[in-house]
Amino acid sequence: MKTSFAVALGVVFCYGFIVLGTPEAADKFPVKPMEFIVPLEAGSDGDVIVRPVMQKVSQILGRPVMIVNKPGAGSSIGYREVHRAKPDGYTTGWGSATLISNKRQGISPLNTLEEIADR
């Protein structure tokens, strides 16, 4: 009896999504260009990896993704920019193992990429 009720409830729930479609806000994101912060110099290994990937992301989203290089201080300048960004989904960034080494050297108070994302 419980299984039948759970299945019926699941079918009704899924049918509701099919009929109603996706929420209106999902259709509107992104409405402005996005920013991707790379904490390395232009032309560095991380920058060379990021550019073709973000070009593809830009094509998929139909909006430009601007790559902003913020080098210096063992990448901590770029990490802090990502950390301080408004959590609206329009600013993201590159992360690597230097985030951990910055913490161990006392350059940055940030511990992990999850800490940046979960602020």
> Which residues partner with 37 through β-bridges?
68, 93
The tokens for 32 are 């402005």
CA angle 25, 57, 45 (to 5 degrees): 140
Q: Is the pTM of this model over 0.85?
A: no
Q: pLDDT tens, 39-91?
A: 999 999 889 999 999 999 999 989 999 999 999 888 888 988 988 899 888 99
Mean pLDDT in the chain?
76
The 3-class SS string of 50-75 reads HHHHHHHHHHHHCCCEEEEECCCHHH
Closest Cα to residue 69, out of 31, 39, 32, 99?
A: 39
Of 2.60.40.1180, 3.40.190.10, 3.40.190.150, 3.90.550.10, the CATH number of 23-117 is 3.40.190.150
- At residue 29 the predicted structure's pLDDT band, cuts being 50, 70 and 90, is confident
**Where do the domains of the chain lie?**
23-117
